[in-house]
Amino acid sequence: MSHMPNAHMNCSHQERLPFSLGLLVFFTLLAAPTALVWLRSFPDSPADLVFFIMLPMLFVGVAYDTTELVLSLALQPRPLPQARLTSFPPVAVLMTVCDDVCREALKGLGSQSYPNYSVFILDDSLDEEERMLVDRAGHAVLRRARRQGHKAGNLNFWLDTYGTSYKYFVILDSDSIISEDFVERMVEYAEHPLNAGVAVFQSKVVPWNTRELFPRLLGAVAPLRMYILELVANRTGTMLSLGHNNLMRTTSAQQVGGFHEYLTAEDTVLTLMLSAIGQETKLVDVTSYEAEPRDVLRFARRTIRWAKQTVELFRLPWQRASFRLKAILCYHLYSYSVPAISLCLLLVAVFGSLQESGEPRSPPMPTSLGIQIGSIHSCLTTVAVAMYFWAIPMTLRFVLAIKTHVPIRYVLAHCLLCMSLGFCLAVHIAAGMLRTALGCKVSFAPTNGLSAKRANQQTLQAFIGCMLPAFAYCMLILLGIIRHHSPTIMSLISIALGLFSTVLVILFWFYRDTRSAENIQ
Amino acid sequence: VNFQEGTANLKRELESRGMLEAKAQVETLEKEREELLSKPHQQEPERAAAQERIKAIADRLNEISARSVGVSFESLCTSKKPGVAGLLQTPSLGSVVYLFLVVLVLPGVAVALTLSIVEYTGQMRLEQIQSRVQAMDERINAAVRLNEKPANPCSDGVANKLGASSALAIRLSQDTKTPYCFWEYLEPGSEDVVAKDYWGSNNLLEKREYYLGGTLLAEDLFEWGGADCFKRREFFDSQKRVSIVDCFSEAGIAHSKRYRIIGNQFIERSNSMRSGIPPMLRWFFYR
């Protein structure tokens, strides 16, 4: 451990430069379009003013994406050094299960090439059938008398009971699949003295359930995502633990008092707590597998849960944690809120132009952009500006996709899917985030588990519930367009039609996936 | 380490999160520690065991604190608030959000505010110019209103005759570029031109220009032949670009008002101002 402070200091110093470079690129990309629009505009009405002030908010996402992609192309990978193992410290492989046993994942648990490891299944299942499946797997099973603290409580229970006997532990979710040499390769990284400041070694996680269309599309860009994380998050010190398929130093976990049981995002919390004591999380070049949500419902539930968990993190100050991690969490908060912000702004654009005793006047966006009525529509200019700033990240993404052998059609399909889902779930996500911000507890149900089936019934209602605002929203936009006789506002029709079509796509997907899930059952 | 303060803070935090069981655990540990400390341990093994137990209690408190509050127990043992420097060095997650919000929103507010102030002052200036121009227009019109309609505005006598009955002096000048003439309206006793009327073919008034200290403020352009925008009044900015275009019908009623915003682009505004047509244009104005 004597290497730790120096190693950490070196790491921090090496990470500061790429992070500062990233900040510079980000703020340049944010300031350029904002200044361009500001210079050509004048806030002429309250609706105009809202647009004027909120414009940078809309550009943040594009700037962030582009920065990440530019850094991915500009930075060189610096893989962590690996040690040649001469001794084999004890490693525990922990699989957390909560009524969501996955047979495929259980099968490969006991076939590791590493000579000194034990497998524990930390079972929180209530369902008898699930418990029997766990018992039959042939590994040590640890069950708690009381289920408290969700996954964190489960892990803490193991940490308190067996923690002192193992130097490292691997956390796996019930759907995690690892290769035979997974533990060995992870330990090689952990044992290298230069990696002493790293507490969590995160593997590259890609999906294994790619036979169905929905998870295949969701997971198609995983290699690309991992590539970006390796180059950007690793190099800038902004890597967050994914919570599973990673190896962790037991002493580090004990040093921070174990896993946080009050907040449900125990993985992010641990990263923050470790960063407060100068320890890091790094992505290493070991591939492992997980299951993506099988259908739209599960995806919706997971996304909403992640959004709520992100808000939940803001309940605590995390004063000693790294600023870089806090900045990334702020971006996560933004990324979950931005669909709702965009929809609100579109409404302002349509109805803000109908003020002044119902007499149509030039809409806010056109006025802001200073475009003459009857000539080029300012809305189209807005779209053009946005497209221009989207075209750059998309092109960069294609370059990276080619580099990581991800088919471009998958990248496109993934983008479209995420955009349409983002629109459909915007209201629901925003409501969930608001409830969490007001102090409501975040309920935690595994994505593909038994309880997930029960939760899915609720989500089904919730999903239909959140489709209604989406429809109502489209109607409002159309109403605004019909009421507004100015040809300028008519350009918004294209946006409204786009929104309509995404809703239809989602409905189709929802219907198809529900039917296929029923057929499987 | 102020242990009592630490446990008090921890209990308060746990209570606020509704973790009453953990709070009860803290109370038990606190009590046990107090008992161990209050008991005199004469013998060495007993003393060592007590010390070890106290350490175990501290570890357990640290665990509870980390798992529920997210900070070490040690950090709860001080009520000292971090100063401004401390907050800047280690800002909380919430303050980082506020920082980003300020960075994103403040420039927008500042720019909007600045633009509004510039627009407001510009608007005030424009309104002054508009009323000055309108006043000048009426002053010129008053001079000719009750006179006969000139058969030939370019003849010497007409300008002199009209000028004699007006508060303004009227000087006839021959246009060097066209075969027609223009009238210059001057403040009495000075050579300051305040307006110019340009006469075109068929003795029709084509244009009227308004000046202040030699600077062109605005001009009225007349379109003959039944156009909706019979009189078009254009105001000029400091760069001599058209900044406002007012349109009036033949009856002097405003049709529209358009403001230049950027480049060659204008926005439409409602206009309730009336501006009469110069009496010399139609014979009935002279009656």
- Contact in structure between A484 and A462 (CB atoms under 8 Å): no
Which pLDDT score, from 0 to 100, does residue A2 have? 36
Burial group, residue B201, by CB count within 10 angstroms (0-12, 13-18, 19+): exposed
Question: What's chain B's average pLDDT?
Answer: 78
Q: Is the pLDDT of residue B274 over 80?
A: no
Give the integer Cα–Cα distance in Å for A434 and B244.
Answer: 47
- Contact in structure between A424 and A470 (CB atoms under 8 Å): yes
Residue at A296: amino acid letter = V
In chain B, % of residues over pLDDT 90: 4
In chain A, % of residues over pLDDT 90: 43
Residue A128 neighbours by CB under 8 Å, 6+ apart: none
Give pLDDT tens digits for A100-130.
888 888 887 888 999 999 999 999 998 898 8
B83: contact with A, CB 8 A cutoff = no
End-to-end CA distance of chain A: 52
A28 contacts on B by Cβ (under 8 Å): none
A385 vs B123 pLDDT, higher one: B123
Region of B226 on the Ramachandran plot (φ > 0 left; ψ -120 to 50 alpha; else beta):
left
Could A260 and B109 be called an inter-chain contact, meaning their C-beta atoms sit closer than 8 Å?
Answer: no
Lowest mean pLDDT among B105-114, B185-194, B252-261: B252-261
- What are the structure tokens assigned to A483, written together? 């009421």
Could B90 and A257 be called an inter-chain contact, meaning their C-beta atoms sit closer than 8 Å?
Answer: no
Which pLDDT score, from 0 to 100, does residue B37 have? 85
Lowest mean pLDDT among A302-306, A417-421, B13-17, B219-223: A417-421
Which pLDDT score, from 0 to 100, does residue A364 have? 37
Give pLDDT tens digits for A135-185.
998 899 999 988 888 899 999 999 999 999 999 999 999 999 999 999 999
Rounded mean pLDDT, A502-518: 59
Could A269 and B91 be called an inter-chain contact, meaning their C-beta atoms sit closer than 8 Å?
Answer: no
Q: Is the pLDDT of residue A93 over 60?
A: yes
Which pLDDT score, from 0 to 100, does residue A286 have? 96
Between β-strands A168-173 and A91-97, what pairing exists: parallel, antiparallel or unpaired?
parallel
Could B67 and A314 be called an inter-chain contact, meaning their C-beta atoms sit closer than 8 Å?
Answer: no
Give pLDDT tens digits for A366-425.
333 333 333 344 555 555 666 666 788 888 999 999 999 999 988 888 887 787 777 778
CB contacts < 8 A (A, B)? 119
Number of alpha carbons in the 13 Å side-chain half-sphere of residue A68? 23
Which pLDDT score, from 0 to 100, does residue A6 have? 45
Give the integer Cα–Cα distance in Å for B56 and A380.
Answer: 67
pLDDT band at A485 (very low <50, low <70, confident <90, very high): low
Burial group, residue A487, by CB count within 10 angstroms (0-12, 13-18, 19+): exposed
A97 vs B5 pLDDT, higher one: A97
**Nearest CB neighbour to A258, from listed B67, B75, B82:** B67
DSSP A38-92: HHT----SHHHHHHHHHHHHHHHHHHHHHHHHHHHHHSPP-PPP-PPPSS---EE
Give pLDDT tens digits for B38-92.
877 667 778 888 888 888 898 888 888 888 887 778 878 876 665 666 666 678 8
Give the integer Cα–Cα distance in Å for B119 and B235.
Answer: 16
Give pLDDT tens digits for B140-187.
887 676 666 677 777 777 777 776 666 677 777 776 666 578 888 888
Give the helix ranges, DSSP H, for A352-449: 364-369, 378-403, 408-437
**Nearest CB neighbour to A258, from listed B63, B262, B266:** B63
DSSP B23-54: HHHHHHHHHHHHHHHHS---SHHHHHHHHHHH
Closest C-alpha among A238, A221, A186, A397 to residue A292: A221
Nearest CA of chain B to the CA of A341: how many Å? 14
A323 contacts on B by Cβ (under 8 Å): 91, 96
Which pLDDT score, from 0 to 100, does residue A170 have? 97
What sign does the dihedral A396-A402-A407-A409 (CA atoms) show?
A: positive
User: Bridge-partner residues for B209, per DSSP?
Assistant: B196, B219
Q: Is the pLDDT of residue A476 over 50?
A: yes
Interface of B with A in 17-56 (CB under 8 A): 17, 19
At A240, give phi and psi (nearest 5°). Answer: -105, 145
**Nearest CB neighbour to A55, from listed B19, B90, B108:** B108
Q: Which residue of A has its CA nearest to B120?
A: A44
User: Bridge-partner residues for A246, per DSSP?
Assistant: A171, A202
Rounded mean pLDDT, A305-317: 91
B245 vs A330 pLDDT, higher one: A330
Give the integer Cα–Cα distance in Å for A130 and A101.
Answer: 6
Residue A46 neighbours by CB under 8 Å, 6+ apart: A352, A355
Q: Is the pLDDT of residue A265 over 80?
A: yes
Rounded mean pLDDT, A298-311: 89
B190 vs A243 pLDDT, higher one: A243
- Contact in structure between B107 and A56 (CB atoms under 8 Å): yes
Residue at A208: amino acid letter = W
User: Bridge-partner residues for B197, per DSSP?
Assistant: B183, B208
Q: Is the pLDDT of residue B238 over 60?
A: yes
B267 contacts on A by Cβ (under 8 Å): 44, 362, 367, 370, 372-373
Number of alpha carbons in the 13 Å side-chain half-sphere of residue A511? 7
- What are the structure tokens assigned to A253, written together? 């976990």
